[in-house]
Amino acid sequence: MTDDLDTAFAALADPTRRAILSMLLEDDMAVTDVAEPFDMSLAAISKHLTILTRAGLISQEKRGRVKWCKLEPGALRAASVWMQGFGQFEPVHLDAFERFLEQELDNG
Protein backbone atom coordinates (compact mmCIF):
# COMPACT_ATOMS: atom_id res chain seq x y z
CA MET A 1 0.00 0.00 0.00
CA THR A 2 2.90 2.38 0.69
CA ASP A 3 4.05 2.21 -2.93
CA ASP A 4 0.51 3.01 -4.12
CA LEU A 5 0.33 5.99 -1.77
CA ASP A 6 3.74 7.23 -2.87
CA THR A 7 2.68 6.99 -6.50
CA ALA A 8 -0.66 8.75 -5.89
CA PHE A 9 0.86 11.59 -3.86
CA ALA A 10 3.68 12.03 -6.37
CA ALA A 11 1.12 12.29 -9.17
CA LEU A 12 -0.91 14.84 -7.19
CA ALA A 13 2.17 16.95 -6.45
CA ASP A 14 2.20 18.48 -9.92
CA PRO A 15 -0.20 21.39 -10.62
CA THR A 16 -0.73 20.35 -14.26
CA ARG A 17 -1.84 16.89 -13.18
CA ARG A 18 -4.17 18.36 -10.54
CA ALA A 19 -5.65 20.61 -13.23
CA ILE A 20 -6.18 17.59 -15.48
CA LEU A 21 -7.97 15.76 -12.67
CA SER A 22 -10.19 18.77 -12.11
CA MET A 23 -11.08 18.86 -15.80
CA LEU A 24 -11.98 15.17 -15.72
CA LEU A 25 -14.36 15.73 -12.80
CA GLU A 26 -16.84 17.09 -15.35
CA ASP A 27 -16.73 14.24 -17.87
CA ASP A 28 -14.49 11.89 -19.83
CA MET A 29 -12.29 13.77 -22.29
CA ALA A 30 -10.28 12.99 -25.39
CA VAL A 31 -6.53 13.43 -24.91
CA THR A 32 -6.47 16.27 -27.43
CA ASP A 33 -9.20 18.09 -25.45
CA VAL A 34 -7.25 17.59 -22.23
CA ALA A 35 -4.17 19.12 -23.89
CA GLU A 36 -5.98 22.14 -25.35
CA PRO A 37 -5.84 24.57 -22.38
CA PHE A 38 -2.17 23.91 -21.63
CA ASP A 39 0.79 25.66 -23.21
CA MET A 40 2.76 22.46 -23.78
CA SER A 41 3.13 19.78 -26.41
CA LEU A 42 0.81 16.82 -26.76
CA ALA A 43 3.81 14.62 -25.87
CA ALA A 44 4.23 16.48 -22.56
CA ILE A 45 0.52 16.10 -21.75
CA SER A 46 0.78 12.40 -22.62
CA LYS A 47 3.56 12.04 -20.05
CA HIS A 48 1.34 13.64 -17.40
CA LEU A 49 -1.51 11.32 -18.38
CA THR A 50 0.79 8.30 -18.14
CA ILE A 51 1.76 9.28 -14.58
CA LEU A 52 -1.89 9.74 -13.62
CA THR A 53 -2.76 6.39 -15.19
CA ARG A 54 0.08 4.56 -13.39
CA ALA A 55 -1.15 6.09 -10.13
CA GLY A 56 -4.62 4.72 -10.90
CA LEU A 57 -6.12 8.22 -10.75
CA ILE A 58 -7.36 8.04 -14.33
CA SER A 59 -7.91 5.36 -16.93
CA GLN A 60 -7.39 5.67 -20.67
CA GLU A 61 -9.39 3.90 -23.33
CA LYS A 62 -9.18 3.95 -27.09
CA ARG A 63 -12.53 4.53 -28.80
CA GLY A 64 -12.02 4.31 -32.51
CA ARG A 65 -9.06 6.52 -33.31
CA VAL A 66 -9.44 8.67 -30.21
CA LYS A 67 -7.90 7.99 -26.80
CA TRP A 68 -10.21 9.01 -23.94
CA CYS A 69 -9.38 9.76 -20.30
CA LYS A 70 -11.66 9.03 -17.37
CA LEU A 71 -11.28 10.00 -13.71
CA GLU A 72 -10.98 7.05 -11.32
CA PRO A 73 -11.97 8.63 -7.98
CA GLY A 74 -11.74 5.32 -6.11
CA ALA A 75 -7.96 5.57 -6.32
CA LEU A 76 -8.06 8.38 -3.77
CA ARG A 77 -9.74 6.21 -1.14
CA ALA A 78 -6.46 4.70 0.05
CA ALA A 79 -4.97 8.16 0.50
CA SER A 80 -8.08 9.26 2.38
CA VAL A 81 -7.91 6.25 4.70
CA TRP A 82 -4.20 6.87 5.30
CA MET A 83 -4.81 10.53 6.22
CA GLN A 84 -7.70 9.62 8.52
CA GLY A 85 -5.32 7.37 10.44
CA PHE A 86 -3.64 10.45 11.85
CA GLY A 87 -6.87 11.52 13.51
CA GLN A 88 -6.20 15.17 12.70
CA PHE A 89 -7.90 15.06 9.35
CA GLU A 90 -11.56 14.87 8.58
CA PRO A 91 -12.58 12.18 6.12
CA VAL A 92 -11.80 13.21 2.57
CA HIS A 93 -14.96 13.13 0.50
CA LEU A 94 -14.89 13.35 -3.26
CA ASP A 95 -17.13 16.45 -3.21
CA ALA A 96 -14.65 18.18 -0.93
CA PHE A 97 -11.78 17.05 -3.15
CA GLU A 98 -13.57 18.46 -6.18
CA ARG A 99 -14.01 21.82 -4.43
CA PHE A 100 -10.33 21.77 -3.45
CA LEU A 101 -9.25 21.16 -7.04
CA GLU A 102 -11.51 23.91 -8.34
CA GLN A 103 -10.11 26.34 -5.77
CA GLU A 104 -6.55 25.38 -6.67
CA LEU A 105 -7.24 26.07 -10.34
CA ASP A 106 -8.86 29.42 -9.58
CA ASN A 107 -5.90 30.48 -7.41
CA GLY A 108 -3.17 28.95 -9.54
SS3 content of the chain, % helix, strand, coil (to 5): 60, 15, 25
For the chain, the structural domain boundaries read: 2-107
Is the pTM higher than 0.85? The answer reads no
Q: What is the DSSP letter of 37?
A: T
Q: What pLDDT score does 73 carry? A: 79
| Arithmetic mean of pLDDT, 56-79 | 90
Check pLDDT > 80 for residue 102.
Answer: no
Check pLDDT > 90 for residue 79.
Answer: no
Q: Which CATH architecture has domain 2-107?
A: Orthogonal Bundle (1.10)
Give every CB contact of residue 62 below 8 A, 6+ residues apart in sequence: 68
Check pLDDT > 70 for residue 101.
Answer: yes
Give every CB contact of residue 101 below 8 A, 6+ residues apart in sequence: 18, 19, 21, 22, 25
Q: What pLDDT score does 24 carry? A: 95
Average pLDDT, the chain: 86
Handedness of CA 26, 81, 83, 12 (dihedral sign): negative
Question: Can you tell me the distance from the alpha carbon of 34 to that of 40, in angstroms, rounded to the nearest whole number?
Answer: 11
